Amino acid sequence: MRIRTMQELLGARVVCCEENLDRQVYSACGCDLMSDVLAYVKDQAVLLTGLVNPQVVRTAEMMDMICIVFVRSKMPSPEMIEMAKEHGIVVMCTEKRLYEACGILYSNGLVGSATKV
């Protein structure tokens, strides 16, 4: 799924790295505990989370993830946005809750991280 499609489906606002909206994501992970995110390697994945701190961006960078979606209208700090920019990670914010946001993406064909493409 294109990041742009995710943005439309979630009615999300893009915070940074708009130039990467046409990149493809192949898997997703919806989680507030970072070590759970780190447990399985994913390819070109998106992280959906309600947690907002610098470790979210660092975790995404560790996993070579290409997009972070903050749910429930949470806003990342300027420091976090700078970090994401440095790594080219698209950051978006949606009003939707984590469960709903994940459900929308899943039902539109974006599989979970355990499934191999």
Q: Which residues bind other proteins (CB under 8 A)?
A: 32-36, 38-39, 41, 49, 51, 53-56, 58-59, 61-64, 79, 83
Quote the least distance from Cβ 47 to other proteins, whole Å: 11
Nearer to other proteins, 7 or 89 (CB): 89
Find all residues with CB under 8 Å of 112, minimum gap 6, and list them. 27, 28, 29, 106
Residue 50 vs 104, nearer CB to other proteins: 50
Smallest distance from other proteins to CB 4, Å: 26
10-40 burial: b if 16+ Cβ within 10 Å, else e: bebebbbbeeebeeebbbbbbbeebeebeee
